[in-house]
């Protein structure tokens, strides 16, 4: 690991000044991903700005029935908060399916959004990687790409976003609250992460001189009928091959409201708008769920080792929706 200067920020202004002064400085929250990347020399900040002293650890109920998650609230605290467990079970389940208890105790909500891909070639500093070193090429496209993306890829990058939490946030229409030197702004979760296009080095639309302060979960009365279904190589402590965050509201046997987001398939949490549109007003049947899944995966592209993800994604969508339908009818 390269040497760096350590700064502990006492407040937002100090934190922002540090990154404005130094374009190579990085914030550290839990550090579970950053420390690892620094050890591998994928990340080489010459200054690390510790923001753990900032007052962003609260989880609070909002007057409109929504919930605000502090940027520095730990993943474990967030997943186990009763407001989250009761109102947004899909989010609790997503967080609890990720990493290990030890990691979730360190990892922060903002850090979870900003974690970087686990593409092997991104981590291997001897391999070409457009994300790590723009213009060097992509070793994954013709390499071992079993864990890679099938939706929204580009010729530059086929990496996936590794977060489970962010997939649930996509289904919940969460909003990321950001502080910059010129004020605050709100970034809808769908506009927060990016597709790779020609600039895969840029994972998100967050600026270097911006700090995440919180995540707003809008009120969602039907959020209680929600589910995170994660398919992985072993039943615990593994990244998703495919995951589905689903929220379903039925009126009788018809779909009144549905939210679907996929993980493990794209460079960002993949909100399945096509499938959602196809389901609105339709009877909640396995056949309709399958058709909606087919429509969503229409544009999927398989690489040498990950073709299985296309069928897996369809079946995971169907199973998630059938499970929620059964729960509703029970």
Partner 1 sequence: MSFTIEQILRGDVPRVGHRPPTAADPSLVPISLRVNGQEYHLQLEPRVSLLDALREFIGLTGTKKGCNQGACGACTVLINGERVNSCLTFAVMHQGQEITTIEGLGQPDDLHPLQAAFIEHDGYQCGYCTPGQICSAVAMLKEVAQGDASHVTSDLTATQIELTDEEIRERMSGNVCRCGAYLGIVDSIRDVYEQQKGQ
Give the footprint of partner 1 on this chain (CB under 8 A): 1-6, 28, 30-32, 35-36, 38-39, 48, 50, 52, 76, 79-80, 82, 85-86, 89, 92-93, 96-97, 99-103, 105-106, 236-237
Comparing CB distances to partner 1, the nearer of 238 and 295 is 238
**What minimum distance in Å lies between the beta carbon of 326 and partner 1?**
14
**What minimum distance in Å lies between the beta carbon of 1 and partner 1?**
5
Comparing CB distances to partner 1, the nearer of 244 and 310 is 244
**What minimum distance in Å lies between the beta carbon of 284 and partner 1?**
22
Comparing CB distances to partner 1, the nearer of 14 and 291 is 14
**What minimum distance in Å lies between the beta carbon of 68 and partner 1?**
20
Q: What is the DSSP string of 125-193?
A: TTS-BTTTSTTS-BSSTTS--TTS--SS--SS-------SHHHHHHHTT-EEEEEETTEEEEEEHHHHB
DSSP 232: -
Positive or negative: CA dihedral 49, 52, 56, 60:
positive
Positive or negative: CA dihedral 301, 306, 310, 314:
negative
List beta partners, residue 26: 48
3-state helix, strand, coil in the chain (%, to 5): 35, 20, 45
**What minimum distance in Å lies between the beta carbon of 309 and partner 1?**
22
Comparing CB distances to partner 1, the nearer of 92 and 177 is 92
Q: Which residue has the tokens 């299985």?
A: 308
Collect all residues with Cβ–Cβ distance below 8 Å to 301 and sequence separation of at least 6: 150, 151, 153
Q: Which residue has the tokens 């969602």?
A: 220
**What minimum distance in Å lies between the beta carbon of 162 and partner 1?**
13
Comparing CB distances to partner 1, the nearer of 53 and 207 is 53
Comparing CB distances to partner 1, the nearer of 245 and 297 is 245
């Amino acid at each position: 690991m390269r040497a760096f200067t350590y700064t502990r920020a006492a407040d937002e202004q100090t934190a922002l000044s540090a990154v404005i002064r130094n374009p190579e400085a990085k914030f550290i929250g839990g550090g579970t991903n950053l420390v690892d990347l620094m050890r591998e020399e994928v990340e080489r900040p010459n200054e690390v700005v510790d923001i753990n002293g900032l007052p962003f650890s609260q989880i609070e109920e909002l007057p409109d029935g929504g919930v605000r998650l502090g940027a520095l609230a730990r993943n474990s605290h967030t997943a186990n908060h009763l407001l989250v467990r009761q109102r947004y079970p899909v989010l609790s389940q997503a967080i609890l399916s990720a990493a290990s208890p030890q990691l979730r105790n360190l990892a922060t909500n903002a850090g979870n959004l900003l974690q970087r891909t686990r593409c092997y070639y991104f981590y291997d500093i001897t391999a070409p990687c457009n994300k790590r070193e723009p213009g060097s090429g992509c070793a994954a496209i013709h390499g071992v790409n079993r864990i890679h993306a099938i939706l929204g890829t580009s010729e530059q990058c086929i990496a996936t976003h590794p977060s489970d939490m962010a997939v649930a946030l996509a289904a919940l229409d969460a909003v990321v609250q950001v502080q910059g030197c010129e004020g605050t702004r709100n970034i809808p979760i769908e506009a927060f992460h990016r597709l790779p296009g020609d600039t895969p080095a840029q994972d998100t639309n967050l600026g270097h001189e911006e700090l995440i302060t919180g995540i707003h979960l809008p009120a969602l009365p039907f959020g209680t009928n929600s589910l995170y279904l994660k398919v992985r190589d072993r039943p615990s402590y593994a990244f998703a091959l495919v995951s589905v965050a689903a929220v379903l509201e039925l009126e009788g046997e018809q779909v009144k409201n549905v939210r679907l987001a996929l993980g493990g398939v794209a460079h960002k949490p993949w909100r399945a708008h096509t499938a959602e549109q196809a389901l609105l007003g339709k009877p909640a049947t396995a056949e309709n769920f399958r058709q909606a899944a087919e429509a969503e995966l229409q544009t999927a592209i398989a690489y040498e080792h990950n073709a299985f993800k296309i069928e897996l994604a369809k079946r995971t969508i169907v199973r998630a929706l059938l499970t929620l339908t059964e729960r509703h009818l029970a």
